[in-house]
Amino acid sequence: MTKKVYVGMSGGVDSSVAAALLQDQGYDVTGVYMKNWTTNVAGYTCSWQTDFQDAKRVAVQLGIPIKVYDFETQYRQRVVDIMLKEYKAGRTPNPDILCNQEIKFKLFLDMALKDGADMIATGHYAQVKNGKLFKAIDGNKDQTYFLYRVTTVALQKTIMPLGALTKPQVRIIAKQKKLATALKKDSQGICFIGEIPIAEFLIAELGQQSPGPIIDQHGKQVGTHDGAILYTIGQRHGFRVGGGLPYYVTGKHVGRNELYVTSDLQDEALWKNNLEIVDTHWINGAPDNKHHYSVCVRYRSEPVGVDKIQKLATNHFRLALTEDVKAVTPGQSAVIYCRNRCVGGGLIV
């Protein structure tokens, strides 16, 4: 019996090719456009209508049905509100990770299965094998960093057709099949809005922030910032200081609205050789110290070896690293790998 697969179609080239490949492989394919966000912000137009039209065009080309799942209310509650809460607390969250955890591999999966699907599929660059998550062949596009909070159960019901392809190969397939999205540019910026800079989105949602002091490594005020929540550890620009050497953010105190910087790239405040993670999620069980692990502290960062993993409490671990890592940022995710398998990870504190 032919398996029914519901593929998330975002209106981009990746999910379009994923749908086409599944059809070629003999699956009964239905496209699903997830309507997560439709609000225009601060003069930036949300692209959802254009994206939906592009998804529909590809569905018509492939001769497959397309549905719309409206997750806008849940998306606001489970992704955007949590993201804003984290920023207000002085941390730097990753909404793409929340979206995958709460929307694509929870709400979408559950609704698709109730709707009659046997499996779901997405255009992510990652590989799924027997409920385990592995890096994509294309290391430059690998998206396992954003997928580390997906459950084993969800992965067992998921197909990711692009994991064994490179981005150039996906573009070639799209052109060969004359898909409407073949030449469409990849989306940039915040996952659910697009091109709007994060600082402008935060101001639109949370209001204009109060300026405060920028304090250097010697305890001297060297300038004024636009609101502590708008800055990220390791950030080089975006604040006003005098001439001379560039400054890098080493920390912030949201309560006092202070931003801490250094002009010394070797300042120990910028570097760490250990870190702690909380709210951990392990895809196929927690790591032990019998295997060799590496960790990425942000998307596309170079993986660093893990010397030791120590469990401090439930969902709270300390990682001793084999070398110093720059700009470890509270609220971001540290994602752990065993060779090319994504083990899981947690939020940096």
| Token output for 343 | 């083990």
Q: Is residue 143 within 8 Å of residue 158, measured between CB atoms?
A: no
Classify burial at 149, counting beta carbons within 10 Å of its beta carbon; exposed 0-12, middle 13-18, buried 19 or more: buried
Measured distance CA(185)–CA(68) in Å, rounded:
23
| Token output for 76 | 């606001």
Give the DSSP letter of residue 182. Answer: T
- Residues ≥6 apart with Cβ < 8 Å to 218: none
Other residues' Cβ atoms within 10 Å of the Cβ of residue 292: 12
DSSP string, 91-146: ----HHHHHIIIIIIIIHHHHHHHTT-SEEE---SEEEETTEEEE-S-TTT--GGG
Tell me the three state secondary structure of residue 204.
helix
Q: Give the per-residue pLDDT at 46.
A: 87
Strands 158-159 and 119-121: parallel
Give me the architecture of the 268-348 domain, per CATH.
Beta Barrel (2.40)
Measured distance CA(11)–CA(172) in Å, rounded:
17
178, 140, 348, 259: CA torsion to nearest 10? -90
Strands 221-225 and 240-241: antiparallel
Strands 212-215 and 221-225: antiparallel
Active site residues: 99, 191
Q: Is residue 84 within 8 Å of residue 41, measured between CB atoms?
A: no
CATH number of 4-176: 3.40.50.620
Q: Give the per-residue pLDDT at 240.
A: 64
| Token output for 310 | 């120590």
Measured distance CA(211)–CA(24) in Å, rounded:
56
For residue range 172-186, what is the model confidence (pLDDT) as tens digits?
A: 999 999 999 999 998
Domain boundaries, the chain: 4-176, 209-262, 268-348
Q: Give the per-residue pLDDT at 236.
A: 85
The class that CATH gives domain 209-262 is mainly beta
Low-confidence ranges of the chain (pLDDT < 50): none
Q: Which amino acid is at 317?
A: F
